Chain A
Amino acid sequence: MEMKLLTWLAEKTGAWVAQNPQGWKAALVFALARKLPHCKQVAPLMSQAMERPLSWRQWVQVKLHLVVCLMCVRYQKQLWLLREAALKIATSSEDASLPRLSPEARERLKRALDAQEH
């Protein structure tokens, strides 16, 4: 009966239980997690954690949620990857395949500089 429940949970939530079939401990964690907020409430907290330290309560909520939710584990990794990617595009202005000044804009800028200079 217990194994059947765990198998069902594993199917539903991904690899964690399958890798850690510690019986009642797993069941306890899941029972606890069930009392905690949903992904929808955890997602903003994962974003906030990138801005400031969470309160201990929020921190525990997120950590426990991540134990049982493969999707949120992914989500969190992807948020941090997005941060890394943003830094990459921030320094990509050398990339010649990106838009250039139009000839007209170039002329306007030169004229503006000239006018100021003389």
Chain B
Amino acid sequence: MTVPSQERGPETWVDLHGDYLFRYALLRLRDEAAAEEVVQETLLAGLQSYARFGGQSSERTWLVSILKHKITDHFRRRSKLAVFDSLDGLPSEPDDVFMHDGDWIDHFDAQRGPLDWGDNPALTLEQTEFRQALARCLSSLPERMAAAFTLRELEELSSEEICKVLQVSPTNLWVLLHRARAQLRLCIETRWFRQPH
């Protein structure tokens, strides 16, 4: 396979791929300084192993694959700093959407329970504004929940891998994911489906 003509080596990386890599990292790390840091790590690692880059993929694809590792490393470092496995201090699921009277029929509060998202919510996913709203919701999650959700749903790592990276037990990972999903669901419903736009 030939190297596409726009591949012009490391000097061009910041201009050609800088914004792309930065956005990729920012969405996942939710912090500009941290995103810049992993992008820099990626570019330097890319430079070091450039000799081994055979051009089987585009430079961008290759750099993104390095970036993915750097992002996982970032979460690994964070999980060593903060004890991720403890669920203490973590906001519980937004359970005010449930009724407290224990009645089995009305246990989802009719006012706050899941709203009908319309006939074809899949179409909504095509809208840029919707995706931006979802990214904002993701950035409002507590760190551990966001890390679990990001690694699982954006990076598509397996549960086993995430447990190793975040140093959590499978049971606690399920709790993290459940709470992250519950909170994201509520956030996107509040900010998108209940709002006129």
Contacts and interface: CB of A to CB of B under 8 A. Distances in A.
B178 interface: yes
B135 A109 contact: no
Interface string B157-170: 00100000000000
Contact of A90 (B20, B122, B154): B154
A53 to B, nearest CB: 12
A109 B128 contact: no
A20 interface: no
Interface stretch (B51-59, B76-84, B105-113): B105-113
Contact of A99 (B14, B15, B26): B26
A57 interface: no
B187 to A, nearest CB: 10
A113 B14 contact: yes
Interface residues on A, range: 35 or more
A72 interface: yes
A63 interface: no
Interface of B: 10-11, 13-15, 18-24, 26-27, 32, 36, 39-40, 43-44, 47-48, 93, 95, 98, 102, 104-108, 113-117, 121-122, 125, 128, 130-132, 134-135, 138, 149, 152-156, 159, 173-175, 177-178, 181-182, 184-185, 188-189
Given A44-B174, A85-B134, A90-B156, 5 more contacts: A44-B93, A52-B159, A84-B122, A90-B27, A95-B131
23 contacts: A40-B95, A40-B98, A69-B108, A71-B108, A72-B108, A74-B116, A75-B108, A75-B114, A78-B185, A81-B122, A85-B125, A85-B188, A90-B153, A90-B155, A92-B27, A99-B26, A101-B22, A106-B15, A108-B40, A112-B44, A113-B13, A113-B44, A116-B47
